[in-house]
Amino acid sequence: MNSVTVTTSPSLALIKYWGKSSPEQNLPATSSLAVTLDGLETTTTVNHSSADRVFVNQIEADIERYTPFFNHFRRSANTRDRFEARSKANFPVSAGLASSSSGFAALALGCSHLTDPAIPLKSISEFARIGSASAARSLYGGFTVLQKESPYAEPLNIEWPDLRIVIAIVSNEQKSTSSRKAMEISRTTSPYYSKWLEESDLLFTKGLEALSNRDLKMLGPIIQRSYLSMFSTMLTSRPPTLYWLPQSVSLIHFCEHMRRQGIEVWETMDAGPQVKMICLEHKLSEILELLREKFPEIALIVSKPGGSPKL
C-alpha cells in the first residue's frame, strides 16, 4: 500500500480532560466522557516519504508539534518509515472545535494502516494520544471514555440517537494559546488545580451514570459544572488564560434564559470561544429559531453522536 485516506470526526468532551498526570507521556490527569461529532470531518491522506511532513488545509505545519507522535509511532510499530500527511477539515481548525482530536486520530489511523493494517484500534488510540489526548477518543464513533492516566480511550456501549449538539461559531480565528500550553500553566500555577482534580472524579462518576440513563436533566448540570470548573483553573493561573469572547458570554446567558423558559439546553466550552449546546432532537428547531433571532450573525452547526472513522 502506498497511500491511505481516512476520515475522522472531532471528540467533544461532556466531562472534561484538563491537565496531564505525565506531561512527557501526555497522559490525562482527569477522566473524560465525550461524544464524537457526526458530520464534522477531518480527511487525511498519508503517504510514505523521505521526511515527516504534515500539511493542514494545504499549509505546511510546524513539524515539531508532530515529532513526538511520529517518533513514538515508529518505536511502537517497529518501523523506520517516514510519512507525509495532507489533511483538510470541513470546519475551522485550532479554534476550539477539537480539530486536534480528529487530526491526530486521522494521522494515527493513516500511519497505522499504511504500516500494518492489523494494528488494533486500542494501539492506534494510544498513538493518537501522544499527539493530543482528546484524539485518543476520536478513534471511535458515538460516546467514548478516556480514563485518567490511561494510555488509550475506549468506546462506550451507549446509544442516544436523539441527542443533538448545536455549535455556535463565535470566531474563526486560531487561538493564541494552545490547550497543551494552557493546561500546563493551569497545572503548575493555579491554586485551584488540585480541587479541580478532586471534583472531576466526582463529575465523571455522576456524568457516566446520567449518560448511561440518557437523562439530560441530570447530565446537563454536570456538563456545565465540568467546563466551569475547568475554566476556573485557567482564570486563576498565572498568566490567566481567557478563551471567552463577549459573544461566548452572551450565549452562556442565553442558554440560562432558555432553560428558564423550560427548554432543556446545556452549554459547554473548550480551549476556544465557541459555545456548544447540548439538547434533545424534539427541542432543536425551537432552540435554533431562538438562537437565529438573538444572534443572527453567528453561524450554527448541528451535530449528533456518530462520526466513526472511515477508511
Question: Interface residues with ligand PMV (CB under 6 A)?
Answer: 13, 16-18, 32, 98, 100, 132-134, 179-180, 270-271
The minimum distance between CB 91 and ligand PMV, in angstroms, equals: 14
- 237 within 8 A of 189, measured Cβ to Cβ: yes
Nearer to ligand PMV, 30 or 112 (CB): 30
Q: Please, what is the minimum distance in Å from the beta carbon of residue 200 to ligand PMV?
A: 10
- Cβ 13 to ligand PMV shortest distance, Å: 3
Closest CB to ligand PMV among residues 29, 111: 29
Residue 217 to residue 215: CA distance in whole angstroms: 6
Q: Name the residue among 88, 60, 76 with its Cα closest to residue 130.
A: 76
* Closest CB 273 distance from ligand PMV, rounded Å: 13
- Contact call for residues 87 and 42 (beta carbons, < 8 A): yes
Q: Which is nearer to ligand PMV, 4 or 163 (CB)?
A: 163
Smallest gap from Cβ 109 to ligand PMV, in A, equals 16
The Cβ-side half-sphere exposure at 260, using a 13 Å CA radius, reads: 6
Question: Do the beta carbons of residue 11 and residue 137 sit within 8 Å?
Answer: yes
Closest CA to 186 of 141, 129, 243: 243
* 16 or 148: CB nearest ligand PMV: 16
| Torsion region of 228: left, alpha or beta (phi above 0 gives left; psi -120 to 50 gives alpha) | alpha
231 touches 163 (CB < 8 A): no
